[in-house]
Amino acid sequence: MANPLKFDPARDEIIRERAYHLWESEGRPEGRAAEYWERASELVQMEESGNPGQLPNPIAEGVDPSAPQGVEEAFIQENLGEFPGQLTDQGDATLTPKPRKPRAKKPKAT
């Protein structure tokens, strides 16, 4: 993939042609040259990227996608003693103070 920030006359020519075809296909509107150049530049960059976001085709690799897949053992899913809201064995401390118990009222002296 070519560096899109480096000036490349051949690449600019490809973008120019693409922008012209986009402009022509939309009825040759006036005053939108920068918009067509930007759209053409993005399209050319997508073509040069080589489809990096696509996942490999499992059928091309000889894998049957309809074949049953193994299931994880149940013990993998169990909670290993870490419960929300509880302290762990990693030295955690309570971040807020505990509520105080109400004091017993003293009887009034008569």
Delimit the domains of the chain by residue range.
9-49
Cα distance between residue 94 and residue 87, in whole Å = 8
pLDDT of residue 85: 60
pLDDT band at 2 (very low <50, low <70, confident <90, very high): low
| Per-residue pLDDT reduced to its tens digit, 59-85 | 777 777 677 767 666 665 565 655 656
Most confident range (mean pLDDT) of 4-8, 37-41, 86-90 is: 37-41
Query: Between residues 49 and 34, which one has the greater pLDDT?
Result: 34
Beta carbons of 41 and 15 less than 8 angstroms apart: yes
Most confident range (mean pLDDT) of 29-33, 46-50, 60-64 is: 29-33
Query: 35 φ, ψ to 5°?
Result: -65, -45
Whether the pLDDT of residue 96 is over 90: the answer is: no
